Amino acid sequence: MSEEGQGPLASSSAAGQEDPPSLAGPPRLILLPPEPDPEGPPKKRPRADPETGTVRLEERLYGVLCCTVCLDLPKASVYQCTNGHLMCAGCFIHLLADARLKEEQATCPNCRCEISKSLCCRNLAVEKAVSELPSECGFCVKQFPRSLLERHKKEECQDRVTQCKYKRIGCPWQGPFHELTVHESECCHPTKTGSELMEILGEMDQTHKKEMQLYNSIFSLLSFEKIGYTEVQFRPYRTDDFITRLYYETPRFTVLNQSWVLKARVNDSERNPNLSCKRTLSFQLILKSKINSPMECSFLLLKGPYDDVKIHPVIYHFVFTNENNETEYVPLPIIDSVECNKLLAAKNINLRLFIFHIQK
Ligand SMILES: [Zn+2]
Ligand SMILES: [Zn+2]
Ligand SMILES: [Zn+2]
Ligand SMILES: [Zn+2]
């Protein structure tokens, strides 16, 4: 069960997702979780050559092509406001998500014109220009065209971080590629005794087992007699507190002949989620109909057929009664804050809910 779940319905071009064919760089880079950036925060670009007093063309282009929000060179898609101000995909989505949290129209930080997915477009010329600019490898500090940098950092750089080949039997060593051969020749893991290795492998098996348990329990749920699923659409609302808060609610929907509602909140209703970089969503399932006897259910939220959000499946469990018809708020297991911002930036959040009725 891969996260990419590329069924025929998962095509990203469906339902007007902004995902035009990328002509520059790897497509859909925006969907990847942020890697710990070995380059660290954007460095101040050297202004002028101290000897000649001139600024190199590349240096001048950095200033022209950088994102006007984070001032870094965009790594993937570049968007522009109607006045042409450039924003990297991450900043653009972040602005839209922030505006949603504050219930404001998102605006360009430079000219205050309105921005949205329909008002802004990609700028392919800038994306291509950026991919041609030299860029520094964070490991060896040499310069490469941006378009070649990814490969250099993954496969060619002598200083890239690598792991010992005995990682599979528990060696935790990590280090620069050029030290790998020496480490592996001295690594103590291949000389460990059988019983020492058995212990290490046992621990690794435990982790693997937990993952397998999840998938196995999904599979066994799938053979239940009563399974219902539906597409659910969370719509944004504001609380009527003094400082209003964003929350989401779905219209009533029917699954397994009962009427239900889902609610979701951001950062567990923290007062000012827009001040924090970490974004999470939690949700609760509410049974709206009256039932004759307690209803024991497992439920599971997954990505909807037309959305591209990355969710780790988690099965929740609850016994619904007429008195106790709401689950606690439980985490919506989105893989990270970037994915969460993508959901917030969208108008509605579309997911698929499965409910399994457990009958003993
Ligand atoms: Zn940016
Ligand atoms: Zn602007
Ligand atoms: Zn390098
Ligand atoms: Zn090792």
Paired with 283 in beta bridges are: 264, 330
Residue-level pLDDT at 49: 62
Ranked by mean pLDDT, which of 101-105, 184-188, 333-337 comes out on top?
184-188
CA of 279 to the centre of ligand 3 (A): 32
CA of 222 to the centre of ligand 4 (A): 42
**Ion ligand 3 — residues with CB < 5 Å:** 137, 139-140, 157
Is the pLDDT at 317 greater than 70? The verdict is yes
pTM as predicted: 0.63
- What's the CA angle centered on 228, arms 235 and 343, to 5 degrees? 25
**Ion ligand 1 — residues with CB < 5 Å:** 67, 69-70, 88, 91
Tell me which ligand sits closest to the C-alpha of residue 168.
Answer: 4
CA of 79 to the centre of ligand 3 (A): 29
CA of 201 to the centre of ligand 4 (A): 15
pLDDT in tens, 27-63: 333 333 333 343 334 444 555 666 666 778 888 888 8
pLDDT in tens, 273-299: 777 778 889 999 999 999 999 999 999
pLDDT in tens, 142-173: 988 888 888 999 999 999 999 999 998 989 99
CA of 13 to the centre of ligand 3 (A): 35
Tell me which ligand sits closest to the C-alpha of residue 159.
Answer: 3
Tell me which ligand sits closest to the C-alpha of residue 71.
Answer: 1
CA of 189 to the centre of ligand 4 (A): 6
Lowest-pLDDT range of 49-63, 113-127, 205-219: 49-63
CA of 68 to the centre of ligand 2 (A): 9
CA of 84 to the centre of ligand 2 (A): 6
Is the pLDDT at 20 greater than 90? The verdict is no
User: What are the DSSP E strand ranges found in 27-69?
Assistant: none
Q: What is the mean predicted confidence (pLDDT) over 15-38?
A: 36
CA of 208 to the centre of ligand 4 (A): 21
- Amino acid sitting at position 305: P
CA–CA separation, 172 vs 166, rounded Å? 8
Is the pLDDT at 86 greater than 50? The verdict is yes
